[in-house]
Every structure is written in C-alpha cells, then in structure tokens.
C-alpha cells in the first residue's frame, strides 16, 4: 500500500550518491589524477553496495521450496508476455526512459559549450538538479500512494519533464541566460523524479500474477536498462549531427 513511499526513500540514495560522486571526482581528478580517482570511486561503490547485498532478501522467498520455484519457472511461457496491457507498459517505460537522462547530461554540456561556463559552474548545475531531484521523489510517491495511483502520477511527470525540455530549448545561447537555465534545470530535476521513482510501483500496479511478478517485472526493467544505455548516446549523436551542419539550437533534439 505504500510502495511508492518505500521506493522514494530507497531512491534518495541515488541523488545523494550522485552529488557525492560529482564532488569527489571533481576534487580527486585535480589532486590525484584519473587512475587514483577511479580507485577511490570504486571503493565508495563497494562500501555502499556490499552491506545491502548481504542483508537484503526478497519477501516470501524463504517459504518457497526449491521444487515450488522450479514449478513456477516451468509454468512461465511466452504467452504471459504478449498481453496488450503488458506490452504497452513495456513500450511506455522504454520511451519514457529513452529521453529522461538527456536533460541531466546535456544541460551540463549546453552550459559549458553554449554559455561558456567553467567546468566547475557546469557541474554545479548537475548538483543543483540532483538536489532538486531529492524532494521531487517524495511528492509524486505520496500522491501515488494516497490519491491517484502510480500510473496516473507518472504520466503527468513525463509531460512536465518534456515541458521543461521545451523551456530549455526556448532559452537563448547568450551568456546572460545562466540564471534561467539554472531555474529550468532545477525544475527538470524535480519533475523528472516522478518517472525515476514510480516505474517499479507502476509495474506492480498492473497486478501481475504474484508467482510471475519477478519474471515479468524483470523483463520491463531490462527494457528500461537498455533504453538508459542507448538513449543518451543517441541524443549526443543527434546533437553532433545538428552542430556539424550549423543548425540553430542543436540541442533541440531533446
């Protein structure tokens, strides 16, 4: 009943961790060089990831015998993956995450290349976005749990995120647009948090067969992982294409 809130609490770690990684990388790259910086970041990852991997357990798994698990696995067939609702959910998640991280990556690039901000000022913009992303994870989760459900909450988050990208495109390229860009970036970080925190509750809200929840949810999460892998490089290739041909507002591909 409070899955959204639980996901919001758990997902705050990515916001805090993102800020920590940015600050650490920016500091150690200047003082210790690239190899040592990577070792330090790897040590931070190990220290943060080993404890939860040791203690986390899937609820109810201890009560299932090995034979029962095999029966569940053998009863899963391709037909359970082709229902229209399931396919639409998978396609929707794929398309939503295809562009959600474009803003996080290329607003920083825009600040550096178009507004000619320093590296520190540009990366500070990402820190501001992550700081705004932190409270943005709780409000959609509370609305989802108490009012309209995850699917009806994640859809407005997607449209608001797209609207922020549109506002970004409306900004000029002159140096006096730093303030408006910071405001748009912070608002984008806030509203896009709804997508990042509600994708799992949305899948769960489909009321899939409990025994097959892991398989079907895992397939959708694989789609999300794939689109996160390819979305930002595709956006970068389109930006490069427009830039090389002298097109106005090359970041319009967002």
Contact between residue 142 and residue 9 where contact means Cβ atoms under 8 Å apart: no
Contact between residue 86 and residue 143 where contact means Cβ atoms under 8 Å apart: no
Contact between residue 178 and residue 108 where contact means Cβ atoms under 8 Å apart: no
Q: Tell me how many degrees the CA angle 228-234-237 measures, rounded to the nearest 5.
A: 145
The full set of domain ranges for the chain reads 3-75+84-247
**pLDDT value, residue 126:** 92
Q: Rounded to 10 degrees, what is the CA torsion of 21, 22, 26, 28?
A: -10
Q: Residue 44 is encoded by which pair of tokens?
A: 């931070």
CATH 1.20.1250 fits 3-75+84-247, yes or no: yes
**pLDDT value, residue 140:** 85
**pLDDT value, residue 186:** 93
CB burial of residue 42 (10 Å; 0-12, 13-18, 19+): exposed
Ranges of H-type helices in 1-83: 3-31, 34-55, 66-75
**pLDDT value, residue 251:** 63
Q: Can you tell me the distance from the alpha carbon of 29 to that of 220, in angstroms, rounded to the nearest whole number?
A: 37
Say whether pTM exceeds 0.85: no
Number of Cβ within 10 Å of residue 237's Cβ equals 11
**pLDDT value, residue 175:** 47
Element (H, E) at 188: helix 178-191
Q: Can you tell me the distance from the alpha carbon of 216 to that of 76, in angstroms, rounded to the nearest whole number?
A: 10
Q: What is the pLDDT of residues 188-211, one digit of tens each?
A: 999 998 888 888 888 777 755 555
Ranges of H-type helices in 66-177: 66-75, 84-100, 102-113, 119-136, 138-143, 150-170
Count CA atoms within 13 Å of residue 178 on its CB side: 12
Q: Which residues of the chain register pLDDT less than 70?
A: 1, 4, 58-81, 172-177, 207-213, 247-254
Number of Cβ within 10 Å of residue 31's Cβ equals 8
């Amino acid at each position: 009943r409070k899955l959204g809130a639980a996901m919001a609490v758990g997902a705050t770690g990515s916001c805090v961790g993102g800020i920590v990684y940015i600050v650490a990388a920016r500091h150690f790259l200047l003082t210790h060089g690239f190899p040592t910086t990577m070792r330090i970041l790897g040590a931070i990852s190990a220290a943060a990831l080993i404890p939860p991997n040791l203690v986390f357990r899937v609820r109810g798994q201890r009560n299932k015998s090995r034979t029962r698990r095999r029966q569940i696995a053998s009863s899963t067939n391709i037909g359970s993956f082709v229902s229209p609702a399931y396919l639409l959910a998978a396609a929707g998640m794929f398309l939503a995450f295809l562009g959600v991280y474009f803003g996080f990556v290329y607003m920083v690039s825009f600040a550096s290349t178009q507004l000619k901000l320093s590296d520190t000022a540009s990366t500070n913009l990402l820190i501001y976005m992550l700081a705004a992303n932190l409270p943005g994870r709780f409000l959609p989760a509370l609305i989802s749990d108490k009012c309209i459900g995850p699917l009806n909450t994640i859809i407005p988050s997607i449209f608001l995120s797209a609207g922020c990208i549109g506002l970004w495109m409306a900004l000029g390229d002159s140096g006096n647009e730093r303030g408006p860009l910071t405001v748009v970036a912070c608002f984008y970080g806030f509203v896009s948090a709804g997508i990042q925190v509600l994708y799992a509750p949305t899948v769960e809200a489909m009321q899939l067969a409990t025994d097959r929840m892991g398989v079907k949810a895992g397939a959708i999460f694989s789609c999300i992982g794939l689109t996160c892998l390819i979305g930002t490089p595709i956006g970068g290739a389109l930006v490069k294409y427009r830039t090389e041909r002298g097109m106005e507002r090359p970041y319009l591909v967002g």
